[in-house]
Amino acid sequence: MVKVLVVGATGFLGSAIAKEAASKGHKVTALVSSESQSKKKEDVQALKSAGIEIATGSLESNTHELVNVLKTVEVVISAVNGPALALQTRLVEAAKQAGTIKQFFPSEFSAFGAIGEDSVPLLFGPKAKTRQAIEAAGVPHTYVVSYGLASYWANGLGELSQKDRVPPAPTGDNKVPYFGTGRTKFVINMEHDIAAYTVMAIGDERVINKQLHIRPPLNMLSQHDLIYIYEDKVFRQLCIGNRLIRSPVTESELDAQISGAPDDIKRTFLQLQKAFTISGTMTPLGANDVEASAIYRDYHYTPIAKYINDLISRFSAQLAEE
Ligand SMILES: NC(=O)c1ccc[n+]([C@@H]2O[C@H](COP(=O)([O-])OP(=O)(O)OC[C@H]3O[C@@H](n4cnc5c(N)ncnc54)[C@H](OP(=O)(O)O)[C@@H]3O)[C@@H](O)[C@H]2O)c1
Give residue-wise pLDDT tens across range 12-50: 999 999 999 999 999 999 999 999 999 999 999 999 999
Backbone angles phi, psi at 213, to 5 degrees: -85, 135
Question: Can you give the pLDDT at residue 162?
Answer: 84
Q: Which domains does the chain have, with CATH numbers?
A: 3-147+189-217 (3.40.50.720), 149-188+220-282+302-321 (3.90.25.10)
Question: Can you give the pLDDT at residue 318?
Answer: 73
Question: In terms of Cα–Cα distance, which of 231, 265, 9 is closest to 120?
Answer: 265
Lowest mean pLDDT among 117-131, 183-197, 233-247: 233-247
For ligand 1, whether the C-beta of 7 sits within 6 Å is yes
Lowest mean pLDDT among 141-150, 165-174, 305-314: 165-174
For ligand 1, whether the C-beta of 88 sits within 6 Å is no
Q: How many helices (H) and strands (E) does the chain have?
A: 14, 13
Question: Can you give the pLDDT at residue 48?
Answer: 98
Residue 242 Cα to ligand 1 middle (Å)? 35
Planar angle of CA 264, 267, 269, nearest 5 degrees: 110
For ligand 1, whether the C-beta of 149 sits within 6 Å is yes
Residue 208 Cα to ligand 1 middle (Å)? 23
pLDDT above 70: residue 170: no
Lowest mean pLDDT among 75-84, 141-150, 236-245: 236-245
For ligand 1, whether the C-beta of 13 sits within 6 Å is yes
Q: Which residues are catalytic?
A: 127
pLDDT above 80: residue 168: no
**321 dihedral zone (left: phi>0; alpha: psi -120 to 50; beta):** alpha
Mean pLDDT score, 195-202 = 98
Question: Can you give the pLDDT at residue 238?
Answer: 75
**What CA–CA distance (Å, rounded) separates 111 from 160?**
14
Question: Can you give the pLDDT at residue 319?
Answer: 66
Read out DSSP for 263-276?
Answer: SHHHHHHHHHHHII
pLDDT above 80: residue 240: no
Question: What are the pLDDT digits (tens) for 251-280?
Answer: 999 999 999 999 999 999 999 999 999 999
What percentage of the chain reaches a pLDDT higher than 70?
A: 97
Residue 320 Cα to ligand 1 middle (Å)? 37
Question: In terms of Cα–Cα distance, which of 64, 59, 82, 42 is closest to 6?
Answer: 59
For ligand 1, whether the C-beta of 163 sits within 6 Å is no
- Which of 5, 6, 7, 13 to probe ligand 1 with, by most ligand atoms within 8 A of CB? 13
**What CA–CA distance (Å, rounded) separates 85 from 62?**
17
104 contacts 95 by C-beta, under 8 angstroms: yes
pLDDT above 90: residue 211: yes
Question: Can you give the pLDDT at residue 96?
Answer: 97
